[in-house]
Amino acid sequence: MDGDINALYQEYQIMRLRAATEILDILMGWLEQEAVKTQNSATVTQIAATIVAVLNLSFQQPAPVVVATATEPEDLESPRL
């Protein structure tokens, strides 16, 4: 079961990186277009800041997956035999 969870987690990470790469590609194209057609540095700076934010999100690791097996609750008040 751990192998399945690890495989799913790896697939999830790959999907996240692909999505971030696509978003980054779109933002870079937009940044290039804005830089060419206008001298509006505020817009270019805002797009660049968005690109940096996407990169930061892409490389942050989500919380690790913890799998616990179901067990019967232990009765702490009754004596053990």
27-34 long-range contacts, CB within 8 A, separation 24+: 27/51, 27/54
What does the pLDDT read at residue 36? 78
What does the pLDDT read at residue 57? 65
Neighbouring C-alpha atoms within 13 Å toward the C-beta of 63: 2
pTM for the full predicted model: 0.48
What does the pLDDT read at residue 62? 57
Query: What is the rounded CA–CA span in Å between residue 17 and residue 55?
Result: 10
Query: What is the rounded CA–CA span in Å between residue 50 and residue 14?
Result: 21
> What average pLDDT values come out for the chain (81 residues) when binned by 10 residues?
80 87 82 77 78 69 51 56 52
The residues, any chain, with a CB within 8 Å of residue 5's CB and separated by 6 or more, are 65, 67
What does the pLDDT read at residue 46? 80
